[in-house]
Amino acid sequence: MCIYRYFEWIQTIQHILQTWNCKIKLKQVTIDDILLYASCFNEVAKICAVLHADTLVVDSSLIDELKLSLEEQFENLNILLLKYIPGNRNYLNLLSLVNRYGVYLPTNVLSCVEEFVVFPGDTRKEHQLVQNSLRFKKFMPHDSDIVLRVTRNFHLDKLSCLVNELSSYFDIPDLDVLVYFNLNPSVVVDTYITYNIDQINTSTSSSSKRIPYEFGKKVSVSVLQASLCETKMLLEQIVLGKTTYEELIAHGALNLENLDIDKEFTLIEKYFASVQKSFDCRQGLDGVKSLLELFQYSKHVGHILNTCQQYKLDRCLKDEDLLELQRLVEPVESEQSRSKTSLIQATDSMKHIKQLLCFERRKCSNYLEVFPAVADCVEFFQFLHEEYFYDDHGRARFHEQVQLVTAQLQHEEYNERVLNHLVAAYNVMLPFLHSEQSFEDLMTKVASLDVTSGLKQLVTVRENIMLIQLWFSRTKVSFCTFV
């Protein structure tokens, strides 16, 4: 009986060793399997020697080879799916990134990733995960926690297959454009990519009624690559100053009015520095930037002109500075003249425009947002004008009446926010209450305004102008009663 059990035990051990031998040779082993076998290899070899089963011992060199293969493939998986820029703390999930642009992925790839791969920060399957102790040679993000984890049942053969499929599928030479400008968000580049995808889809679609990709139409990876290639070529033309105005604005897809052009072109310049392009892009960037700014400032000049006309600022309207501004932005007001505007002309024009708009006082154009905001406050303007709250005496009287209103409302329930915003909104409107000032005086006053809070407070007053008029009318009644 004992002998029977002894032979049964030997057969069981031999079966286990044969199974392990087969799994290792077919690479149907998990990370845990490889690490475990490597750690107990000497003990297994001794058992096989006792049982005269040396042929069942897997050569240690094969185990080392599998371990190296495992580390290499797992590192490649991280390189493929997690995108980062050295020195940047952020990273991107490649699958989520391409999905944002509507790119479809093979079902077998998605299901394999969903079943076996866990991205940083995802706590699902925590108890099923391998405790990663592998070392990487090339994948070195800023944060050591940025690393994939895999489930315990993820075999090496499946890992190798997934890596090969992802490598083949995402063989995109210009993928760095997508990664860089998503880690460093750019409105310009994102617009170019989506515009090019849409154009390529349009040209390759056999359907006469195409659904735009952003509303659900799937995009092939080849379309994405073609779009990135077009985008990169356009960016190169931009930095060399060889692009047309229509190409710059993606034939109308790029809205320049509120675009932070300085920020956008700094990002583009840094991108080419990161890929070590050898050409000097400063002159081309400056010219193209000026052309885009010229279009942007043409909108600002339009708002300035409309506001001056609306509030009958007659001296400003006749001022040579404002007339010169209108002449300077004429080249981008029609499609025909835009195409003839050179980068040098745009640079010279923008230099003069910024001088006329007192740009050196602020170094950014956000104060010009005052003009359309003030133009929307007609009732507030009329109220201030009718009450003569604009000269020195009028300003003093305005503040006196604000104090009276505050005193009257002390014992009542009222919207304190409206009253608090009134003085700041008045200060924003004040430069526009003087019809006989020069354009330079107007711009000097506007450039000195606190735009950040002033515009919000102006909106509050505009929305509550009837309440404000009621408060001020009560101070008149109280004053007359007192007299």
pLDDT of residue 185: 93
Q: Which of 327, 357, 387 is the last residue of a domain?
A: 357
> Which domain covers residue 257, as residue numbers?
174-232+247-278
* pTM reported for the whole predicted model: 0.62
Mean pLDDT by 10-residue block, N- to C-terminus, for the chain (483 residues)? 62 65 68 69 68 62 76 88 82 90 88 88 66 67 75 82 91 92 93 93 58 56 93 88 80 80 86 76 77 87 94 94 92 72 82 86 76 94 90 89 85 77 92 91 89 86 92 68 43
Please provide the size of the chain in residues: 483
In a domain, 241, yes or no: no
Long-range contacts of 323-332 (CB under 8 A, 24+ apart): 324/352, 324/356, 325/301, 325/353, 325/356, 325/357, 326/301, 328/301, 328/352, 328/353, 329/294, 329/297, 329/298, 329/301, 329/353, 331/294, 332/245, 332/291, 332/294, 332/295, 332/298
Q: Which of 45, 63, 81 is the last residue of a domain?
A: 63
Residues 377 and 472 placed together within one structural domain of the fold: yes
Q: Which of 16, 41, 63 is the last residue of a domain?
A: 63
Residues 411 and 332 placed together within one structural domain of the fold: no
In a domain, 26, yes or no: yes
Residues 204 and 292 placed together within one structural domain of the fold: no
In a domain, 365, yes or no: no
pLDDT of residue 292: 82
Residues 25 and 78 placed together within one structural domain of the fold: no
In a domain, 326, yes or no: yes
Q: What is the DSSP letter of 215?
A: G
Residues 422 and 464 placed together within one structural domain of the fold: yes
Long-range contacts of 220-223 (CB under 8 A, 24+ apart): 220/103, 220/104, 221/98, 221/103, 221/169, 221/170, 221/172, 223/103, 223/197
In a domain, 322, yes or no: yes
Residues 106 and 159 placed together within one structural domain of the fold: yes
Question: Whole-angstrom Cα distance, residue 316 to residue 310?
Answer: 12
Residues 144 and 222 placed together within one structural domain of the fold: no
In a domain, 242, yes or no: no
Residues 456 and 376 placed together within one structural domain of the fold: yes
In a domain, 84, yes or no: yes
How many domains does the structure of the chain reveal? 5
Cα 94 versus chain centre, distance: 16
Residues 201 and 122 placed together within one structural domain of the fold: no
